Amino acid sequence: MERPRFDTYYTNEQLLAALQALARAHPGLVRLEALGRTHEGREIPIAIVTNAQTGPDTDKPGFWVDANLHATELAGSMAALHLLETVLARYRTEPRARRLADEQVLYVVPRLNLDGVAAALGRPPRLLRSGTRPYPWPERQPGLHPEDVDGDGRILQMRIEDPAGDWKVSARDPRLLVKRAPDEEGGTYYRLFAEGRLERYDGDLIKAAPPLAGLDFNRNFPAGWRPEGQQKGAGEHPGSEPEVQAVLEWFRTHPNIFGALTYHTFSRVLLRPFGYRADEEMEHEDLRVFEAIGRRATEITGYPCLSTFHHFKYHPKEVITGCFDDWLYEHKGIFAFTVELWDLPSAAGLEHKNAEKKFIEWFRHHPPEDDERIVRWVDAHAPGALVPWRPFEHPQLGPVELGGWDRLYSFTNPPPALLLAEIAPQTEFALAFAAMAPRLRWRAVQARALGEESWQVRAVVENVGFLSSSGSVQARKQKACREVRLRLELPAGAELLGGRPEVEVGHLEGRSNKLDASPYWASSDTDNRARAEWVVRAPPGTVLALLALSERAGTLRRKVRLGEPPAAAGTGAPAPPGG
């Protein structure tokens, strides 16, 4: 099999071919299904990675990864593909990858927004935020709409000389524009726009138009959802878009998912909930877990882990609502992060001055020297990302100049040659996060003879994973998943004399509630264990079936033959169905 390439960005067709090749090369470990269909009818593939011989995927702890919810954020889809390829390539040689596939399940949707990507990579290109459906109005609104007016396959920038303009040419690089000083007069100045055409142009007024396809899928999820007048791109109602509805439905039918990553660009940061509420409103125990996972992410990737509400607002008095990671945590109690891949300024060596990485503020104000340093880096590593200005006769505006930033492969995504170096550490973090799953094991299983063909059956189950069997405190509060249950199934001729066939034993903690670093007052309580007992009447040699059931920590099955010696403590790795 030809391995996927990670020095380019795949079209929809190339991505599907790569997924199909992985599925053919690894039968029994990966299968492709349809998550749903897009607005334009494209089938959204989801890759399900698990060993079919060790049981169905829904009986195992599930980890979710998706990408390319936004149309131009192409690096995310390649990061998701890299994760898939890495897990499958390492399955036979690396214990962590083997355990992930044998005992857990990985759900990967490399590209949720196929319509938007088809538009972005088309000729001519259309650079959309999300989907292609006209929204909120069916026709183009007055103003400037980004468009490839010269037919070169790129949407660059357009500058128009104007004495009242707010930009001027940098004295250090003629390709670069810098801001005119507030009191500056007597020079040559420009207005700066996206390359494009105007709708209903009156010959005088130019303004950026709201996009025809104004949806933002990451504002269409139910958590904190607000209508268009309060949150642009939100859609007519939560889950109004088929791509988002497909995700909601998958999570409804797969309560085994305990953790999630959603890949976006750009900023080189790991964002955690909430987008619209302060940390003080989060369950404190869950906040500590988010921070612990975030610290591990920083160790592996170098990306800081920040609160969207506290550190990533686009406007200091506005919040972001309807986001995927907020919905996963707030409604489902799933620990979920948004990974913002890539950051051109930091790649160029600009170090943000504090750990909080005020990235959005940098775009609003920074010294011209920063831009000059970025240009030097781009010339060395991504030639062509900053295009020299050239005259062009615009069909509506007359003489203009086209040039400036080709943002798709500079600011929005890494230059293709640098893609692999950017995404490879994210795969390592995804594997580490997936390894934090809650996981059930049998600690002890015993059938003790009481006489007269009666037996005491005793089972102790434990969670050997990092996370609780519920995942989070929020999940318990929302009743997002059921408690752990122990079930004894009897064959014909056996009789239950004591106990109920199925016993709820509550949720089992992992190590995530034991995060205090000091040993001086630590207490490692065995709150990860639970026990149930039954009294059964049956002849020696009768085989009973014992099950431990947890939606997020997995399902264990065990046969108990009456009269056999008890199993040793600590045994009981998941066995195939009936094993």
Locate all alpha helices (DSSP H) within 188-323, ordered by sequence: 242-253, 284-301, 308-311
Q: Count Cβ atoms below 10 Å from residue 472 Cβ, excluding itself.
A: 27
pLDDT score for 316 = 75
Distance CA 498, CA 456 (A): 9
**Cα-to-chain-centroid distance, residue 295:** 17
Domain range summary for the chain, segments of one domain joined by +: 12-120+214-342+414-434, 143-211+347-409, 440-561
What's the rounded mean pLDDT across residues 438-453? 95
CB count in 10 Å sphere of residue 33: 12
Task: Return the sign of the alpha-carbon dihedral for residues 363, 80, 5, 423.
Answer: positive
Contact 295, 438 (CB under 8 A): no
Q: Is CATH 2.60.120.260 the classification given to domain 440-561? A: no
**Which 3 state secondary structure label does DSSP give 347?**
helix
CB 461 within 8 A of CB 443: yes
522-557 pLDDT, tens digit each: 778 999 999 999 999 999 999 999 999 999 999 999
* Distance in angstroms (rounded) separating the CA atoms of residues 335 and 466: 12
Q: What is the Cβ-side half-sphere exposure of residue 475, based on CA atoms within 13 angstroms?
A: 26
Does the pTM exceed 0.85? Answer: yes
Q: By the 8 A CB rule, do 64 and 104 touch?
A: no
CATH number of 12-120+214-342+414-434: 3.40.630.10
3-state helix, strand, coil in the chain (%, to 5): 25, 25, 45
Distances, alpha carbon 44 to alpha carbons 60, 151, 245, in Å: 23, 30, 12
Q: What is the DSSP string of 375-418?
A: HHHHHHHSTTSEEEEEEEEETTTEEEEEEEE-GGGTTSS--GGG
Rounded to whole angstroms, the Cα distance separating 306 from 95 reads 31
Residues 203-259: pLDDT tens digits?
Answer: 999 999 999 999 999 999 999 999 999 999 999 999 999 999 999 999 999 999 999
> Would the CATH topology of 12-120+214-342+414-434 be identical to that of 440-561?
no
pLDDT tens, residue by residue, 108-130: 999 999 999 999 999 999 999 99
